[in-house]
């Protein structure tokens, strides 16, 4: 029985992606990277999905699994069984595909917050021991990554409408 459990937005996001055709998934994946996901299970699956969609293949569960096997990322029986189970569970328990864009924004917001936290932690750890010039450089370097994530998050929150196709007269 599907749970539609949104307590794991990364898994829910992937489950939604697995239901989309390649063209729709390509639009959703614009501005996404596998390392935007924190989950050690979800990030590699997102990378597989990104590769499939880039090749024009629908990211259906069987295609993602076959791609993992073909590329050597599901080596060994135990890994293949675990991966197939994870993919099927994400697909089965996914919320409706209409939530894909919302979940993308949730995932990117979480990635942005993680980037800010990591940056703040690096600065905090360096405050007492680092030369002020180095500290200034550290502060600037970390903010670039957070700013880039913020930009992608904002794009996900406020997507630009697709232009309507002209109908021939």
- What is the pLDDT at residue 162? 65
69-100 pLDDT, tens digit each: 999 999 999 999 999 999 999 999 999 999 99
Residue 164 lies in a domain: no
126 or 70, higher pLDDT: 70
Residue 148 lies in a domain: yes
Q: Specify whether the CB–CB gap between 112 and 150 falls below 8 A.
A: yes
Beta strand extents in the chain (DSSP E only):
none
Residue 86 lies in a domain: yes
Worst-scoring range by mean pLDDT, 75-79, 112-116, 134-138? 134-138
**How many domains, the chain?**
1
Q: Which CATH number does the domain housing residue 50 bear?
A: 1.10.860.10
Residue 167 lies in a domain: no
Residue 166 lies in a domain: no
Task: Give mean pLDDT, residues 98-127.
Answer: 93
Residue 121, domain extent: 9-157
| Average pLDDT in the chain | 90
Residue-by-residue DSSP string for 48-97: HHHHHHHTT----HHHHHHHHHHTTTT-SHHHHHHHHHHHHHHHHT---G
Residue 117 lies in a domain: yes
Residue 96 lies in a domain: yes
């Amino acid at each position: 029985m599907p749970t539609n459990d949104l307590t794991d937005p990364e898994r829910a996001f992937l489950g939604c992606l697995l239901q989309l055709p390649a063209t729709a998934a390509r639009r959703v994946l614009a501005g996404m990277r596998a390392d935007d996901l924190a989950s050690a299970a979800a990030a590699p699956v997102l990378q597989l999905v990104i590769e499939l969609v880039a090749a024009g293949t629908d990211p259906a569960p069987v295609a993602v699994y076959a791609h993992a096997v073909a590329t050597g990322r599901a080596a060994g029986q135990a890994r293949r069984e675990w991966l197939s189970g994870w993919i099927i569970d994400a697909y089965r328990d996914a919320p409706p595909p209409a939530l894909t864009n919302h979940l993308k924004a949730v995932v990117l917001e979480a990635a942005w917050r993680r980037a800010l936290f990591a940056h703040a932690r690096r600065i905090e750890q360096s405050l007492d021991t680092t030369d002020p010039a180095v500290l200034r450089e550290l502060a600037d370097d970390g903010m670039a990554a957070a700013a880039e994530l913020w930009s992608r998050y904002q794009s996900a929150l406020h997507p630009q409408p697709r232009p309507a196709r002209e109908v021939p007269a």
